[in-house]
Chains A and B, each alone.
Chain A
Amino acid sequence: QKKEISGTVTSKTDNIPLPGVTVMIEGTTVGTETDFDGNYTLKANVGDVLVYAYLGMKTQKKTVANQTTINVALEDDAGQLDEVVITAFGIKREAKKLGYLVQEVNSEDLTVAADPNMATALRGKVAGVEIRSGATGPGSSTNITIRGISSLSGSNQPLIVIDGVVVSNTNIGQGDFAGGFDFGDGFSNINPDDIERISVLKSGNATALYGYRGANGVILITTKSGKSGKVKVDVSSAASFDNVLVSPKFQNQYGQGRYDTATNTLEYNIIDGGSWGPRLDGTQRERFDGVGTAEYSANPGDFKDFYNTGTTFTNSVIVSQAKNGTDFKLSYGNLSNESIQKGATLNRHNFGLKAGIDVNDKIRVSGKIDYTRQKGENRPELTDGQSNTIKALSTKPRNISNSLLANNYLKADGTPNNWAGSFTMNPFYATNTLLNEDETNRYIGLISLDIDLLEGLKLNARASQDLSFTNAFIYREKGAFDIAPNGKLDEFNTTSKTTSYDLLLNYNTELSDDFSLTAAFGLNQINSSFKSIVTVGETFVQDNFFSFNNFKSKNINPSLVRSKSNSVFGSATFGYKNYAFLEVTARNDWSSTLPIDNASFFYPSVGGSLVLSDAIPSLVDNTSLSYLKLRAGYAKTGNATDPYNLQNTYLISSSEYNSQLFYFFGVNEEGAGAGASLRNPNLVAEISTNVEFGFDARFFDDRLSFNATYYNIDTKNQILELSLPPSSGANEQVINAGLINNRGFELGLSADIIKAKDFNWTTDVNFSKNISKIEELAQGIEVQVRERQFNDVVQVGGKLGDPLWSLFGSTYERDTDGNIVYDSNGLPMVGGIDKIGSTNPDALANLRNTFTYKNFSLSILLDAKFGGDVFSFSDMVRATSGTDEITLEGREYFTGGNGILVPSGAVIDGTLDADVAARGVNPQEYWGRLGQISERWVQDASFVKLRELSVSYNFPTTVLDKLNISRLSLSYFGRNLAILHKNTANFDPETGFNNSFSGVEYFGFPSTSSHGIKLNVSF
């Protein structure tokens, strides 16, 4: 007969209630956690053993007898950090039984700096995880890779599971080379305040139960739930202020115009878009648009001044309770963001309800429903897009002031008033006009049934769905955009649906005094679909009335991508004397994406752990080595492919050309569009092999803990969109080929450096190094090209024998000794196309120091990436357009002085022109030439950042009791406060092009540093 047990858990040292203590019934997955007052309630049988576990405290066990109240005081035991962790399917397990390390991030650490984007909030907190930041603020998409890149053409993103619901992380749209907007992804609309903890499953053994969908790792999110006996309300509010972190360095001495070779003078000319004109002298000259005059002088702060202080307000209220076998949590959160770019806003509302009820002793029904509504306006345009303000400000002639542009941003006909130059737009038009908006409505639902079938045998059945609708519009007024001078409306309607069904049987038993067995068997089915309807209208009937019906040409393009998988899996963990454990898993998947005869694929894993500190009698009571566990795992992981990879399909032209539709292979009919990807009806599942081993050790009574993991992953015969030379007629063909090896190690170190009554100092360090290598590509192929869209100025690809990814582009012409060769005009010569960089970082590291003094705490997080290159289009364009500070060198050339001198002893192809030898070269010609040498613009992307800093004050209970508040804390926080080290002069090395890959920067939206205040109240 189960009865309700409640109680309070406190800290033995100071008698303060402990929130978040895990209370589990031993040998089961049943359990709860204490609330902020340290209270818990759960149902247990007489004779059950309750296990109380808490970070930094020694675990205690209590056997349930007749009492209904069990109060526990836990002793400090710093270092015991991962006693109980959340593993696949949300199962809480003792870390020591696992053959792998599960790294967790708790709510506190996740939200310490109030980052409204859950993915970026994770940065610097988990070893071996690289998170590329959202390009344009909290609502933008992110890219996460765990243990390096293993797929040569597909996604490398992990699976996301929230409370057991497999959710979609579909990206609605990102910029490409020609422009575009980042409308966010599945991550970007989750409310971080509702998250209780995140487990990152990295190894094949850990993700085995998720099957092929977890092949790139799994991010397991558990949201908060009701735990306290009484109704509890948690309120959190934060306000933060964002400012541009890095501004490019501009020259402020020369303005618009050019050097006239006929007269040998610098001439001001509004027709020339570059800043190669006369020295800025404060005189009145023809205004940029030919109307009147304007002062010809410098505008040093114009880049930074253009951007405002962005604001982000987040609020969250969570009401929860757990009582008499029922629990619920009701949450609401909102985000209101105004970007540093005027007019760009994001608003998000998250509603969540999570509840459970014990129908009787043996049956529990629980479920949840989350609703998210997000609205974005005027998301900043990226890359080469005409309304990209970074591009405009970077190339704007240095004499044109922001105020001049702001006050005259429209021409009389209502079109943007631009200066000369190709595809540029007055940036104030971009910020004063509604150029795009988007709205997402997302529903995540789960219903779950738990039944205790027999002693030790439990059944869990659940059904869940993630359903999301996004509607986005891109508005182009008449005359505003060169690519659509007659006006254009793009409308995107997408529906993303992921439905899963799980059935899970769990069996726990003690086989004998020494042997225990935990076994699981499960069935799983997942259906995914992504439907998109893109409508495009071009050429207004009535000017600037944005309705699909109001265009002369219209086009509708629907698409639907579907997949289904069925799976059977099982696992068994054998325990010996509670210090040696062996786990085996097996899984078979059937995926609709593979040929019907190859749809089924099987893969096993085996892992084990040995707690030496318990197994070796002499170590049991050793306090200098208080814990030592060895672990090892071997796993095969299968992977299927994307839908529709088996059969070529034709694209039909959007309209008739002389009464005839075209049928062709490819991505779109436009001449610039990518070519065809040839499909393959004979694909088989790819299987990768993971080997990992490591140890966890704690020293000095757990004050110092250390873990190390080495892994080696071979991803073989992967389903690959093999890039082909264009001369083959296709972009790529889908084949099974290749072998990618990723190996590396992850180290974690935690130390309680100072532990005193009023003062504590703890340090956490993560360090990881991943070495990837392309061991094999397809027969006869040495380079797999991932991206070639940048007008081929730079290409991103993988080269046989090298890590992922390499950058390819034009090089300096060099002689056999490697010296740069100059032509007879004194300009460096353009060499052939070759590898010019590698985007693969050497190592990632982060360091967190936390200090507490009485009720104050201070947390500082440093985050670093070492190595890896980035190619900067922006630097290249700023140099060729004469706006970059580096273009000041040699401007005396124009007034008869020296230009950029050819280095003495330079290797010349032919004979150096005598005049050039004497006074160097025209700097405009020099940078024009270097604009053709991609190698020049590759830079080291290493950084060390002050990622997060927070100072908080917890009001003492003496104050709180009077207010009837259980917790009140106030904190200052900062994010990305400073880049302590970088090698890129003009941009944050984390700035990207889009989130599909790193290594290319192209007028990326500036990253921001944020300061803010956060208040947490619980009552």
Chain B
Amino acid sequence: TDGFEEINTDPYNPTEAPVQGIMAAVQYYEFAEPRFLTWRGNLIYSSQFANQLSYNYAGAWFGADAFQNNQGWTNAIFDNSYKKVTLSSRNLLKTYTETNDTNGVAVSKIMMSWFFQKMTDIYGDIPYSDVIGAELILENPKPTYDSQSSIYKGIIDDLKVQIDAIGSSTTIIAGAEGDYVYQGDPQKWKTFANTLRLRMALRGRDAFIADGDQAYVDQVIAECLSNPLIDETNQALLKRSESALILSFLDGGFEDVYHGFGGIGSKFTIAKRYLDLLDNNNDPRLEKVAIPSAIGNMYQGSAIGSRTQIARDELVTPSSLIIGNSTTEVADIVPVKVLSASESYFLQAEAAILGYGGNANALYQEGIRASMNFWQVEASDASDFITNEPVANLTGSNSEQLTMIWNQRWLNSLMNGYEAWALVRRTNLIPDLTDNTNFWVTQPNNGAIPKRLPYSSTEAVSNADNVNAAITAQGADEMTTAIWWDKN
């Protein structure tokens, strides 16, 4: 048996990793998403459900009836998100735990919370409490599904624990080079955690109140508002790689989907509602996000669910801020918005309207300004817009003002379909389709924006008992079943 151990050691792949390498993997897979995930989860589903991006044109690979479930894609989002993110996240937590890097532990837990919020918003009840430990191999190989309310509460409470754990420490975490977002700065992560907490508290507010937890949610919101929240000095942005990514191994995001495949089948456009909302209000972001159609030079968008399929050349093309110029010329692309300053302002504006204090209109306008800044609108154009356009001033009833805030938050969330979809579900910002002659008003959703995605059929085979328990608790495993926070 001499030499056996050496023979049985892989000479090409290491058993140890630098912590920044693990951190970088977590952030890339969690925040930036590789092409496969982002195409299905962010583009085909979320961004179309949210009426932001569209694959409805002649020659597209994807059906005009965007509110259909394709189980393979649905599985892909669930399975690959969990497989790409959670194991590395646990490994990162394990690494920081073993080295007693308390700020590192807190940061890895905060990042986990962000991920599980995204996932529960897509599916409702999901495995959470069993898969957030610091061990690679789970004690129970079949994770149980937690209710969404307990996940929301769990995350909101855990974020508080991590905020307190960081306290006033400014000790940069190990592997800071791999932290694309905040370069290991624990105070920035603390602010991030606080903003994420506010986002979740507001999203879950109606449901908490319905569950009799008004005092709890009020206290959380008040706590969030009394602590630092994200502004333009500490937005959570993940810069896309400025150089070409190598091959399809390390695939990119929207540019890879758009340019990386032949034909027009993959060349998504911008949805009609999105372009119209910009166009009708002289919004300077219009020309930042869209290039007029090749034929007709129009800012024509594609209507989600329309039975009429317009030729691709008569529709806008997303700008190079969204898709770069080719798979290899990607320097223009704006960063991934993990949590942006404008969203932070819109959250605060919403809280202000709901009576938690603050100047709603000022916050609203700060949000618009931050969003325009993000989309590289000249400061003077942004100021003109805020000064001159009625849409930039909150007016009307509380509910009208909330709708204005939500619409601006929705505009701001372009490229983060998950957040946009969650927003439109909670707020009913976009009415159901009812005109069956001109739109696909078909089952299963009958023209309503899907309320969730069905569970993964992979899980249904390999984790059947727990999936079935979740279905029993949550309701039928269908796109029409509203999740816990979707109260109306």
Which A residues contact B (CB, under 8 angstroms)?
Answer: 261-262, 271, 420, 422, 479, 481-486, 536, 538-539, 552-555, 558-560, 562-564, 566, 590, 592-593, 596, 599-600, 643-644, 646-666, 668-672, 674-676, 678, 722-731, 733, 778, 780-783, 785, 788, 791-793, 795, 797, 808-810, 823, 825, 827, 832-833, 932
Contacts and interface: CB of A to CB of B under 8 A. Distances in A.
B437 A262 contact: yes
Contacts of B239: 658
B450 to A, nearest CB: 15
Contacts of B484: none
Interface string B28-51: 110011111110000000000000
A643 B8 contact: yes
B288 interface: no
Interface stretch (B137-145, B152-160, B195-203, B394-402): B137-145
Contacts, number: 293
A249 to B, nearest CB: 27
A552 B141 contact: no
Interface stretch (B15-23, B184-192, B354-362): B15-23
A795 B247 contact: no
B442 to A, nearest CB: 8
B61 A422 contact: yes
B261 A675 contact: no
B206 to A, nearest CB: 28
A832 B307 contact: no
A246 to B, nearest CB: 28
Interface centre among B1, B7, B177, B247 (most CB of A within 10 A): B247
A724 B141 contact: yes
B143 A728 contact: yes
B8 A663 contact: no
Most central of B4, B90, B180 by chain A CB within 10 Å: B4
Contacts of B127: 727
Contact of A730 (B87, B438, B458, B466): B87
A792 B21 contact: no
Contact of B82 (A647, A657, A729): A729
Given A553-B244, A678-B136, A722-B141, A782 B464 contact: yes
5 contacts: A661-B24, A669-B249, A670-B251, A671-B33, A825-B442
Interface stretch (B72-80, B227-235, B343-351): B72-80
Contacts of A552: 244, 328
Contacts of A722: 141
Given A481-B262, A563-B8, A261 B17 contact: no
Q: How large is the interface on B (under 10, 10 to 19, 20 to 34, 35 or more residues)?
A: 35 or more
Chain A interface main SS type: loop
B87 A599 contact: no
Interface string B52-83: 00000011010000000001110110111011
Contact of A482 (B10, B18, B78, B263): B263
Contact of B136 (A658, A670, A730, A731): A730
Contact of A483 (B25, B248, B466): B248
A653 B25 contact: yes
A652 B141 contact: no
Given A552-B244, A729-B90, A651 B459 contact: no
B3 to A, nearest CB: 7
A726 B77 CA distance: 11
Contacts of A656: 241
B141 A671 contact: no
Given A560-B12, A780-B140, A795 B261 contact: no
A426 to B, nearest CB: 13
B18 A663 contact: yes
Q: What are the nearest 4 A-B pairs in CB distance?
A: A791-B72, A671-B36, A671-B34, A675-B83
Contacts of A793: 71-72
Interface centre among B9, B72, B85, B90 (most CB of A within 10 A): B9
Interface in B107-147: 126-127, 131, 136-138, 140-143
B262 to A, nearest CB: 4
A672 B76 contact: yes
Contacts of B378: none
A645 to B, nearest CB: 8
Interface of B: 1, 3-5, 7-18, 20-22, 24-25, 28-29, 32-38, 58-59, 61, 71-73, 75-76, 78-80, 82-88, 90-91, 126-127, 131, 136-138, 140-143, 177-178, 180, 239-242, 244-251, 259-263, 265-266, 307-309, 327-328, 437-438, 442-443, 456-464, 466, 477
Given A793-B72, A833-B461, A660 B80 contact: no
Nearest to B89: A729
Contacts of B438: 262
A650 B14 contact: yes
In this complex, the member of A271, A670, A727, A932 whose beta carbon has the largest number of chain B beta carbons within 10 angstroms is A727
A901 to B, nearest CB: 19
A675 B466 CA distance: 21
A657 to B, nearest CB: 5
Given A553-B328, A791-B75, 18 more contacts: A420-B59, A482-B261, A482-B266, A562-B7, A592-B8, A643-B7, A647-B15, A650-B13, A650-B17, A665-B136, A671-B36, A729-B131, A733-B141, A783-B461, A792-B456, A797-B462, A823-B443, A832-B477
A652 B248 CA distance: 15
B72 A646 contact: no
A553 B247 contact: yes
B1 A596 contact: yes
A780 B5 contact: no
A536 B177 CA distance: 29
A659 B33 CA distance: 17
Given A485-B261, A662-B28, A663-B25, A832 B460 contact: yes
Given A592-B8, A730-B83, A670 B35 contact: yes
Given A727-B126, A728-B131, A671 B251 contact: yes
A724 B265 CA distance: 35
Contacts of A668: 249
A781 B20 CA distance: 35
B289 to A, nearest CB: 23
Among B28, B83, B127, max chain A CB count under 10 A is at B83
Contact of B87 (A643, A675, A795, A825): A675
Nearest to B86: A729
A669 B34 contact: yes
B246 A553 contact: yes
Contacts of B140: 780
Contacts of A420: 59
A42 to B, nearest CB: 42
A668 to B, nearest CB: 7
Contact of B71 (A560, A592, A596, A932): A932
Nearest to A650: B17
Contact of B248 (A484, A727, A783): A484
A785 B20 CA distance: 34
